Structure 1
Amino acid sequence: MTASSNKPGQRPLYSRFIPREELHSFSAWSLGSLAEGEGGPVPPEPPAAPAAAPAPEPEPEPALSEAHQAALHEARQAGYKDGYRDGLVALENFKQSYAAQITAQVGQIAQAFQAQLELLEQQLAGALAAVACDIARQVVRTELQTRPALVEAVAQEALSTLLHSARHVQVRVHPEDHALLVERGQLDLESRNARLVADASVTRGGCIVESDIGTVDAAIETRWRQALAALGQSGDWSDAAPDAGDPA
């Protein structure tokens, strides 16, 4: 303990240095402690945030040697060439496949068009043949009306078709044709020992020759069907209405 000198009229000051051995507990004093004793508690300061650790710097890549760089460049060039070649091959295959597909489609369209064209041609040919047959029918009827003597040529041709060995020959014609043939008298019946018979069931312009060995059908209906068959058509002589004044 140490006493200090005092001036007159002052309170004595007392000071003493306390050795560390005599201290049992102590704490650091701050200015906040004094403010706490005067005006109340002071909130403690928040602890400082720890400083962020610096980001590690990337390690530098090891430098490649010239040999390695040359090998890498060569590998890149080789890969580029292989990829370019494979791309060309794939493109060529695609072009061939696409061309084959288009060719097949065009072939199918052409075949369908050809089939439709052939069908149209057949229909057109059939229509033309039908028209031609109708015109021919009208022409034949007109000829039979204006030239009834044509039956004479038909009967003579039917007799010539019959074998000479035939017996009991009869030529059956329409009654009006019968009168015409008898009047003209140019049909060769005597050489064949044939007899001319009037038959109303025979259409005018035709005839039927009968004998013991067979029959020659030269009726207008039969000859008309044969003419249509040669044109690829079918039909009867009576399919169309006869013209006014037509003897048939």
Structure 2
Amino acid sequence: MPTSERALRQFRGLASDSEFVDGRSELRGDHASDAGDGRAAGNRGAPRQAGFESFAAPAGRAPQKNGWQRWQMVSLDPRKAAPAPAEFMPLEPAPPPIDFAALDAMREGARKEGYAQGYTQGQTQGYGDGHREGYARGLEGARTEAAHLQQLAATFSHALGRVDEEVAQTLISLALDVARQLVQQAVQADPAVLLPAVRELLAAEPALSGSPCLLLNPEDVTLVETHLTGELQAAGWSVRADPAIARGGCVASAASGELDATLSTRWSRVVKALGRDDPWEPPHA
């Protein structure tokens, strides 16, 4: 008989006479009392014990893997509690489905809001910048226009001054021309206008000395002698005709000096007082 079958039969006979308590085999009934009597009863139980031990794997040797393994009874110890069941974890609810239409609406709303804010901000900033730039340009233009107007005013004032000066000089020239003509006409119309000039020479200071002589136009000699003979003799003056002297004028000549009362000389004094240099004889004369 094979060894494995013989060992199995021995195990079955031993198992019928014993109980397993907590994984250990104990003899049942009379086998237990025989085991308690000592070594005398050991001869009967020894073969069974030896047979049971022979079922175990030899000491120091690992059991061979031949498809057979040692049977062990499940422990009934109440102290070993069964493992607690795994804690029940509630399942998380499934996420709601994505509403792409709502996302598109939110995106479009955000885009419109951003556009509106940007437009408002840009418009405000643009108005502010435009106002400042327009104000600066307007101020610069006003300053330029004011400077131009000041220049025009200065030019106009200068031109007006020149006009005033030209008008004044023109008026003076006109007045001198009129005066020249009036004098000439007066001399021709009334030769007696010469007499006041002769009296001024006789009364001039300092008095002439050294045979003073009154030079007259030949046409005026008779007039002067008729009206001033006594005064001339009293002053010691003599009268002499000089064709170089124009009618209406005279010259007092002496060793001490000369007094010129001709019309051209008196005319020069007048025009110089007016700041002009118009000759007594006009260019068209």
TM-score range, shorter chain: 0.5 to 0.7
Distance 1:164-1:87 versus aligned 2 partners, 3 A rule? same
Q: Is 2:213 the counterpart of 1:213?
A: no
1:157 aligns to 2:200 (yes or no): yes
1:155–1:238 Cα change, 3 Å: same
SS in structure 1 at match of 2:166? helix
Counterparts of residues 50-61 of structure 1 (less than 5 Å)? none
Q: Offset of 1:118 from its aligned partner?
A: 2.7
Report the CA distance between 1:197 and its aligned residue. Answer: 1.9
Question: Quick one: structure 1 residues 187 and 209, their matched pair in 2 at CA, closer, same or farther if it must change by over 3 Å?
Answer: farther
Residue 175 of structure 1 corresponds to which residue in structure 2? 218
Displacement of 1:193: 2.3
Instruction: Find the structure with the greater CA-based Rg.
Output: 2
Conserved in 2, the CA contact under 8 Å of 1:162 and 1:216? no
Q: How many aligned residue pairs are there?
A: 182
**Which digits, 9 at most, give the CA deviation of each residue in 1:188-233, with x for residues without a partner?**
2244322222211111111111233322111111111222233343
Distance 1:175 1:218 in 2: 16
Partner of 1:54: none
Normalised TM-score (structure 1): 0.60
Give the structure, 1 or 2, with the largest relative contact order (CA under 8 Å, sep 6 or more).
1
Residues in 2 aligned to 1:215 and 1:101: alpha-carbon distance in whole angstroms: 66
> How much identity, in percent, do the aligned residues show?
25
Taking the TM superposition and a 5 Å limit, the aligned residue runs for 1:124-139 are 124-139=167-182
Q: Which runs of no fewer than 5 residues in structure 2 stay unpaired?
A: 1-99, 108-112
CA distance change for structure 1 residues 92 and 166 in 2, over 3 Å: closer, same or farther? farther
Q: Quick one: structure 1 residues 219 and 198, their matched pair in 2 at CA, closer, same or farther if it must change by over 3 Å?
A: same
In the superposition, relative to structure 1, how do residues 137 and 199 fare at CA in structure 2: closer, same or farther (>3 Å)?
A: same
Deviation at 1:91, TM superposition (A): 2.2
Aligned match of 1:45: none
Q: TM-score, normalised by structure 2?
A: 0.53
Q: Aligned in 2, Cα 1:228/1:153: closer, same or farther, shift over 3 Å?
A: same
Cα RMSD after superposing both structures: 3.4
2:185 pairs with 1:142: yes
Kept in 1: contact 2:208–2:254 (CA 8 A): no
Unpaired segments of 5 or more residues in structure 1?
A: 1-56, 65-69, 243-248
1:74 Cα deviation (Å)? 8.6
**CA separation of 1:169 and 1:126: change in aligned 2, threshold 3 A:** same
Deviation sequence 1:63-95 (CA, Å, 0-9, x none) = 79xxxxx99999987766555444332222222
Higher relative helix content: 2
Change (3 A) 1:86 1:200: same
